[in-house]
Amino acid sequence: MSQQPELLWGARFKHGPAATLSALSRSPEYYFSLAEYDLEGCRAHAYELNRAGLLDENETVLMVDAIKQLAKDFRAGILAPIQADEDVHTFIERSLTGRLGELGGKLRAGRSRNDQTANDLRLYLRDNARKIVAALLGLQTALVRQAEQHIHTLAPGFTHLQQAQPIVFGHQLMAHAQSFCRDVERFQDWDKRCALSPLGAAAMAGSAIALHPELSAKDLGYDGACENSIDAVASRDHVAEFLFAGSMLSVNLSRISEEVCLWASRQFRWVELDDGYATGSSIMPQKKNPDIAELTRGKSGRLIGNVTAMLSTLKGLPLSYNRDLVEDKRNAMDTVEQLLLVLPAMAGMIDTMTINVERLREQAPEGFTLATEVADWLSRRGVPFKEAHEITGKLVQVCEQYNLALHEVSDAQLLAVDARLSADVRECLTLEAAINARSGKGGTAPVRVAEQIARLKTRLEAQANWVNGYAGLSL
């Protein structure tokens, strides 16, 4: 069924490569997972050869049927590379000629491994961008579901990791959802630039046989063919951009992971993680550790490293293709693998965690979070904010001196700080008053948070349509 492969490049050499060269040159095993994408390109190229007159109708049918069967066998585990296969292209040609004989060898006409490998990775990235976004939609949905339940849950908001002003907890959750929504949009924007097919570029100058790359491009779900054959095989900025989008997503995942670690701590006690999404200690029976958050936080450095590695590889390369570019797959495939591992776990953790509403409300006014309400109250009465700020600061000093909350200060103490501080100021010194006052668009007032959630749901629906509207592999 299969035959020992021949090198795709060895015709002018008097003898084969040294064992050390073969070991260095052979693709890692996981690169062969691109076989389905390579076969998809092979199918499109078969029709291109038919248009060029190199394959007649019967040969084209036989070729395409064999390609489709190879794809089925590969998915079923029946077809696998052998050690002598240098790369996925060698693997596919060996398998195809093993089934079609000389006819299988015709497929190599009019193309090069240079445009093949560029095409394989573009198809892989476009496909997996949708898978990543689909998984990210699961996390966003979990955040929205939790936020909807906590539109009125009062909580302390932080700056500098110090309690700053009261908010509703749903607003905090939605801040993370907004970041993730932009991560999706980054992948969508990236896809517009990546949606050009490199097939037809051949080695670097274009093909004298595959003269209608725009038709192959349409067949493969691209928007068109690359404008420049040299750029088509030599550029990997689309890979670097994908890796940046992935690393930015990992940074946003790391930030919410850090907060979950804090929220679940005994010092905060804001959330209780579901047993299915936490682990224990091998020595301390009482422990319940936020491992998903910690592991996700740790992955971010790895994904930042992937984009850094890709940029470092690209920075000194002359045009057009250079073998250095094999590193693109290592970085891209690792980023995809890690994100598809992390995102479902994060979604499950967020979706199942229990929010301690009473604890959040208890902490909401601590640290004089209502102090800004005093300064705003004075400003609305004509006091310049510079003065209002200083007056409020003195009031906080009094509270600290006598161990009082802001609303506990007596009328006499208020007037001693400043004659303009009347007892009426207490009207604004409630959590509800502070929350409801922040009623501009983007503010933490419950009515605004509810509107924010509704708008985000509409955006998530559009993002889901983007995922579902991609045909992907046809084999």
The C-alpha angle with vertex 379 and arms to 376 and 385, in degrees rounded to 5, equals 95
Measured distance CA(313)–CA(65) in Å, rounded? 39
What is the distance between the terminal CA atoms of the chain, rounded to a whole angstrom?
21
Q: Considering 265, 281, 422, 474, which one is annotated as catalytic?
A: 281
Distances (CA, A) of 70 to 58, 95, 217: 18, 8, 22
Which structure tokens are listed for 371?
């102090």
Tell me the residue type at 465. N
Looking up tokens 């590969």 gives: 74
Annotated catalytic, 160? yes
Q: Whole-angstrom Cα distance, residue 222 to residue 191?
A: 10
Identify the DSSP state of 12.
T
CA distance readout (Å), 302 to 140, 338, 340, 375: 23, 9, 14, 45
Q: Which residue has the tokens 């994408």?
A: 37
Which residues are registered as beta bridge partners of 435?
Answer: none
User: How far is residue 70's CA from residue 384's CA, in Å, rounded to a whole number?
Assistant: 77
Burial of 149 (0-12, 13-18, 19+ CB in 10 A): middle
Quote the DSSP letter at residue 279. B
Helix (H, G, I), strand (E, B) or coil at 289: strand
φ/ψ of residue 381, rounded to 5: -100, 20
* 389 catalytic residue (yes or no): no
Q: Which backbone phi and psi does 126 adopt, to 5 degrees?
A: -65, -40
Among candidates 251, 225, 43, which has minimal Cα distance to 118? 225
Backbone phi, then psi, for 197, in 5-degree steps? -85, 135
Distance (Å) of CA 187 to CA 46, 134, 238, 412, 457: 31, 11, 11, 60, 18
| Residues 217 and 224 sit within 8 Å (Cβ to Cβ) | yes
In terms of Cβ atoms closer than 10 Å to its own Cβ (0-12, 13-18, 19+), residue 402 is exposed
Residue 60 CB partners (closer than 8 Å, separation 6+): 46, 47, 49, 50
Joined tokens for residue 166 = 């009261």
* Encoded tokens for 209: 């046989």
Query: Could you tell me how far CA 410 lies from the centroid of its own chain?
Result: 53
Omega before 320 cis (within 30°)? Answer: yes
Q: Could you give the residue numbers annotated as active site? A: 160, 281
